[in-house]
Amino acid sequence: MRTLLPSSPHNPMLQSPTTPSSRRRFIHCAKRSDSSPIGSSRSDWQSSCAILSSKVVSQEQAAVNGHTNGSVNLVPFDDKSLTPPNKKTTPTPLSITDLSPAPMHGSNLRVAYQGVPGAYSEAAAGKAYPNCQAIPCDQFEVAFQAVELWIADRAVLPVENSLGGSIHRNYDLLLRHRLHIVGEVQLPVHHCLLALPGVRKEFLTRVISHPQGLAQCEHTLTKLGLNVAREAVDDTAGAAEFIAANNVRDTAAIASARAAEIYGLEVLADGIQDDASNVTRFVMLAREPIIPRTDRPFKTSIVFAHEKGTCVLFKVLSAFAFRNISLTKIESRPNHNVPIRLVDEANVGTAKHFEYMFYVDFEASMAEPRAQNALSEVQEFTSFLRVLGSYPMDMTSWSPSSSSSSSSTFSL
C-alpha cells in the first residue's frame, strides 16, 4: 500500500514508534491543549508516555495529603488568626466513591482509530461513544498500542464490510494483541468522490482511497467512465487530506462528505458505493473485558485452532448447532508462519504452529449456560481457544431507505 507524503500539519495523529523516517509526519496527541508536537521516534514515543504518567503522579501527589517529591508539603495554616485553612486550598481526602469506576458514557473516553479526522473509523468511534475524544493513529498497530500503553481507553477496528467482506489483517491483529472486544458498531458507509475545487472528471488520472473504499466503489467508478489508475492508501480521509495538502489536480479520493468539508474538497459524485446498503462492522477494543449480561442480546467472538488440521471444524460447529446458537460469522485464516503461545494449567508456555486459525462469532452471551457449555465442548476438541470478547450486539436497524446511503448523485 502506498504512503502519501507529506501530510498537512493540521492533522495530528499518533504514529508508530517504528515508523521509518521517510514516513514520519508532524504529529502530536490529538486534542492536547498545547499544540507542541510529540515526535515519532521510539524515544519520543516513550517520553510522551512518561509525560503522561508523570502528570498522573503529580495530580495524585497534589490530591493525597500534599506529598510532593517524597517530602511532606504541609497545608499552609494562618497561625496569626488561628483560622482553619481556606477550604479551597485544602486537599480533599480520597473517599471510597472516588475509587469506584464511574460509568463511562463516552465523554472523557479516549478512543484510538486508524486514519485522520473524517475517516469512517472516527465516525464509528463517535457512534459507539458519543462525545468521546477520538485519537487519530497512522496505523492499526499504533491504535492497539495506544490502548495497551494507557494513552487511549479504546481502539476502533473495522473487521468486515457487507460488500468487501472481511478485513483479514485486522483479524490477525486481534490474535497478536491481548485486547478484548467490548462492543460493536454497524456503520452505513456512504462514499463520495472528492477532488480539488474546479477539477473535472476528465482531468483525473488516478483515484486513491483505502482498499475497502476502492473495492466498494469499483463498479460505480467504471460506470462513471473512470478507467483510471487506482491506488490504495492507509485511510479514506488521508487520501482527501493528501490531495488538499499537495494541491494534486489529477487525482480524486473516495472518502466521506465530512472529509470533503474538513479538507476543502468538492464532491464530484455522491453515494458511489456499489450497493446502497453498504455497511461496515467495527469492533471496540479495551484492556479489560466487560462483564457479560443476559438482559440484552449479546454476541461472543472466539478464535480457535487444532494441531491436527481442519477436521475439528465440524465438531466445533455441532457444539453450537446442538444448543441452537446462531453463528453470525465464520472465518478461517492461514497461519503458517506465526507460532501461537499456549499456556497450560501450570502456566507453562509452549509455542505451536497451526495451519489455520478459525474465527467464529455467535449470538449468545458468555453469561448464558448454553454458551458456557458450548465452549467447554469446543475446548475439548481444540488445542487453542481464546474468547476475544462477549459484548452487546449493535441492534441498529439499517436499510438503504433508513440511511443516508440511499441517494446517489453523480454530478460529473
Ligand X SMILES: O=C(O)C(=O)Cc1ccccc1
Which of 25, 154, 190, 210 is close enough to bind ligand X by CB under 6 A?
A: 210
Whether 282 is catalytic: yes
Q: In Å, what is the CA distance from 247 to each residue of 8, 23, 68?
A: 11, 19, 52
CB 136 within 8 A of CB 116: yes
> CA 11 to CA 27: how far, in whole Å?
8
126 interacts with ligand X by CB under 6 A: no
* Residue 121 binds to ligand X (criterion: CB under 6 A): yes
**Residue closer to ligand X, measured from CB, 110 or 190:** 190
Q: Of the listed 242, 282, 358, 362, which one is catalytic?
A: 282
Q: In whole angstroms, how close is the CB of 241 to ligand X at the nearest point?
A: 11
Contact 298, 390 (CB under 8 A): yes
d(CA 363, CA 329): 10
Q: Where are the beta strands (DSSP E) in 142-213?
A: 154-161, 165-166, 180-188, 192-195, 206-209
Total residues at the site for ligand X (CB under 6 A)?
Answer: 13
If one asks whether residue 263 binds ligand X (CB under 6 A), the answer comes out as no
Q: How far is the CB of 166 from ligand X (least distance, A)?
A: 12
Residues 156-175 that bind ligand X (CB under 6 A): 158
Distance in Å, CB of 164 to ligand X, minimum: 7
Compose the 223-262 pattern: x for residues touching ligand X by CB under 6 A, - for all others. Answer: ------------xxx-------------------------
Asked if residue 136 binds ligand X (CB under 6 A), the reply is: no
Residue written as cell 478512543?
111
To ligand X, the closest distance from the beta carbon of 404 in angstroms equals: 15
**189 makes contact with ligand X (CB under 6 A):** yes
Residues 270-329 touching ligand X, rule: CB under 6 A, are: 280
Q: Judged by CB, which is closer to ligand X: 237, or 340?
A: 237
Please identify which residue in the block is written with the cell numbers 481457544.
385
Q: Is cis: bond before 6, omega within 30 of 0?
A: yes
> How far apart are alpha carbons 368 and 6 in whole angstroms?
51
Q: In this chain, which of 120, 263, 320, 362 binds ligand X, going by CB under 6 A?
A: 120
Contact at 8 Å (CB) between 352 and 307?
yes
Of 280, 304, 362, 384, which one is the catalytic site residue? 280
Residues 330 and 359: beta-carbon distance below 8 Å: yes
In angstroms, give the least distance from the CB of 187 to ligand X.
Answer: 7
- The set of residues, in sequence order, having a beta carbon less than 8 Å from that of 210 and lying 6+ positions away, is 115, 232, 233, 234, 235, 236, 239, 254
Q: How far is the CB of 337 from ligand X (least distance, A)?
A: 26
Residues annotated catalytic, as ranges: 280, 282
Binding site for ligand X (CB under 6 A): 115, 119-121, 158, 189, 210, 212-213, 235-237, 280
